[in-house]
């Protein structure tokens, strides 16, 4: 049974002795510290397959790195594509160019005009400029040709390669909610505008939504197994917007994306941090297939969510945000509890979280090996 088979069995809510796993490093700094290098392998696909094998992961991002001019960003993307959330360094469908590159940071500019400052060590993503300030600025976004076939060069070959290796392929688009303030419009103005400037905000959300759907379909035509997007709808205290606002602005796009994925026999995978319990019924109605990460620290309790929605949604549920200070016994207990809670009735993928650059190599490798053993992968 391949890792890809395990994902599909989880999606079909089939309980299995082997549990699929997704090891995720918190950021690029931790990734560089703990991930083995393969300097003798020149082909990025083969190097990624080796990293997948080391981690035991099942989901591989196939969005193309040639969209990025910066060699540093290309390398970072190739490292992070072996975990389920590679968007830290800009995966997706927009091109970027390098504005500045120093020993400490690199500044990239998306073709729509937004700029990120990526601090190298420790890795921090900083938003330094947005292209949209008023409605007329939306022309900067609408001029992007999402259907340019060069954007998707090599994707079909990557899909074929990784499927043959037994991995579940994923392509990332941008979120419909947090995707706006990651790349286009200042977050405070965006949240205020959802209340008092609805016409402008809806026009922007709908423009970006249409671009997202077109990019998703272009990836789906190339055979990807799933479309991934990040929409952080909450923080630890609760939702960032009301369910009514979500229903008005974002639910229709989530539903359209899920329907599009399903029309190609593919899966819709959503990432959202925060206490988003109030949104779960709507996400189920939208047709979201996989939700991650269900942080316990955000009051996203796996047992409760499995009981309420476990027959309709698959949870890629994390262990915890940090494992700092945990010994072998406590790590073992943490992983066992998560697996015992999640695997009953299927619909569960273990998300091994909490790996930060503050940890030592021995603890990280023990954590990974314990999880693979307890999941039945080794």
What is the pLDDT at residue 85?
Answer: 73
Structure letter (DSSP) for residue 267: E
Residue whose entry in the numeric block shows the structure tokens 């671009």: 211
- pLDDT band (50, 70, 90) for residue 37: confident
Burial of 25 (0-12, 13-18, 19+ CB in 10 A): buried
- Rounded mean pLDDT of 54-65? 96
Provide the percentage of residues in the chain whose pLDDT is more than 90: 92
Q: HSE-up of 146 (CA within 13 Å, CB side)?
A: 19
pLDDT at 378 > cutoff 90: no
Structure letter (DSSP) for residue 68: B
Residue pLDDT, tens place only, 133-178: 999 999 889 999 999 999 999 999 999 999 999 999 999 999 999 9
Q: 135 φ, ψ to 5°?
A: -60, -35
Residue pLDDT, tens place only, 297-346: 999 999 999 999 999 999 999 999 999 999 999 999 999 999 999 999 99
Please give the Cα distance from 247 to 139 (Å, whole number): 26
Q: HSE-up of 273 (CA within 13 Å, CB side)?
A: 9
Domains plus CATH for the chain?
A: 3-92+133-374 (3.20.20.210)
The answer to whether 335 touches 371, Cβ cutoff 8 Å, is yes
Q: 335 φ, ψ to 5°?
A: -65, -45
Q: Which is it for strands 267-272 and 226-230: parallel, antiparallel or unpaired?
A: parallel
Please give the Cα distance from 227 to 258 (Å, whole number): 9
Give the CA distances from residue 188 to residues 192, 194, 195, 199, 219, in Å, rounded to whole numbers and listed in that order: 6, 10, 12, 17, 32
Q: Which residues contact 187 (CB under 8 A, 6 or more apart)?
A: 181
The answer to whether 340 touches 19, Cβ cutoff 8 Å, is no
pLDDT at 66 > cutoff 90: yes
**Residue 77 three-state SS:** helix
Instruction: Give the neighbor-by-neighbor strand order of the sheet with 226-230.
Output: 21-25, 348-355, 314-318, 290-293, 267-272, 226-230, 168-172, 59-61
H-helix or E-strand spanning residue 60: strand 59-61
pTM of the predicted protein model: 0.96
Residue pLDDT, tens place only, 180-200: 999 999 999 999 999 999 999
Q: Which residues contact 293 (CB under 8 A, 6 or more apart)?
A: 24, 271, 273, 316, 317, 318, 351, 353
């Amino acid at each position: 049974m391949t890792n890809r088979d395990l994902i599909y069995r989880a999606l079909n809510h089939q309980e299995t002795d082997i549990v699929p796993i997704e090891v995720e490093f918190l950021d690029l700094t931790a990734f560089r510290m703990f991930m083995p290098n393969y300097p003798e392998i020149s082909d990025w696909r083969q190097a990624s397959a080796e990293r997948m094998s080391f981690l035991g992961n099942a989901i591989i991002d196939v969005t193309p790195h040639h969209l990025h001019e910066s060699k540093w960003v290309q390398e970072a993307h190739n490292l992070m594509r072996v975990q389920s959330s590679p968007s830290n360094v800009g995966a997706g469908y927009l091109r970027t160019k390098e504005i500045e590159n120093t020993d400490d940071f690199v500044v990239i500019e998306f073709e729509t005009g937004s700029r990120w400052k990526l601090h190298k060590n420790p890795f921090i993503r900083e938003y330094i400029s947005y292209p949209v300030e008023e409605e007329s600025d939306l022309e900067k976004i609408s001029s992007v040709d999402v259907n340019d076939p060069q954007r998707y060069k090599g994707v079909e070959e990557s899909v074929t390669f990784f499927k043959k290796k037994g991995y579940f392929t994923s392509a990332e688009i941008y979120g419909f909610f947090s995707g706006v303030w990651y790349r286009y419009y200042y977050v405070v103005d965006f949240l205020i505008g959802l209340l008092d400037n609805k016409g402008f905000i809806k026009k922007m959300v709908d423009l970006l939504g249409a671009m997202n759907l077109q990019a998703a379909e272009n990836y789906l035509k190339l055979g990807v197994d799933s479309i991934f997007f990040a929409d952080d709808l909450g923080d630890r205290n609760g939702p960032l917007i009301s369910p009514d606002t979500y229903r008005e602005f974002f639910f229709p796009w989530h539903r359209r994306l899920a329907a599009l994925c399903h029309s190609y026999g593919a899966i819709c995978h959503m990432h959202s941090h925060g206490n988003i319990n109030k949104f779960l019924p709507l996400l189920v109605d939208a047709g979201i297939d996989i939700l991650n990460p269900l942080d316990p620290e955000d009051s996203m309790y796996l047992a409760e969510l499995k009981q309420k929605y476990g027959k309709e949604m698959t949870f890629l549920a994390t262990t915890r945000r940090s494992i700092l200070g945990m010994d072998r016994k406590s790590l073992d207990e943490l992983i066992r509890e998560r697996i015992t809670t999640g695997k009953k009735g299927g619909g569960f993928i273990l998300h091994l979280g909490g790996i930060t650059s503050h940890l030592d190599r021995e603890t990280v490798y023990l954590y990974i090996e314990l999880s693979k053993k307890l999941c039945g992968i080794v």
